[in-house]
Amino acid sequence: MSATVIDLASRRAQPRTRETCRTCRRGTDGSILECYPHRLDSLADRVRYDLLSTQGELLIDRETLADRLTDVLHVLETITDECLRPDERGTR
């Protein structure tokens, strides 16, 4: 008796890209308006880039740091209760 081996990794749900995401939208100018998980993902990429580009630096330009912190606060402020599904609202 033999069993068929199935690669479970190929059946795992793949994360949606901004183009295939059901919640990201296109603005009137054609730019992508990201959903909140994709906004957080993009923010994480920008913070990672800053960390990598300043690796080994003893002094980090205050403006660079202030710009990124402003970016972080702006993104966090855009994530409100309305981003969540109705059954998730008010539970956190």
Binding-site ranges for Zn ion (CB under 5 A): 21, 23-24, 35, 38
* Nearest to Zn ion of 54, 75 (CB atom): 75
* Nearest to Zn ion of 21, 47 (CB atom): 21
* Nearest to Zn ion of 37, 54 (CB atom): 37
Supply the minimum distance, in Å, between the C-beta of residue 83 and Zn ion: 11
Supply the minimum distance, in Å, between the C-beta of residue 10 and Zn ion: 23
Is residue 54 exposed (0-12), middle (13-18) or buried (19+ Cβ within 10 Å)? Answer: middle
Whether residue 34 contacts residue 18, with contact meaning beta carbons closer than 8 Å, is answered with yes
CA distances from 60 to 47, 50, 53, 66, 74 (A): 14, 10, 10, 10, 21
Supply the minimum distance, in Å, between the C-beta of residue 14 and Zn ion: 13
* Nearest to Zn ion of 25, 89 (CB atom): 25
Q: How far apart are CA 49 and CA 68, in angstroms?
A: 11
Supply the minimum distance, in Å, between the C-beta of residue 72 and Zn ion: 19
Beta bridge partners of 1: none
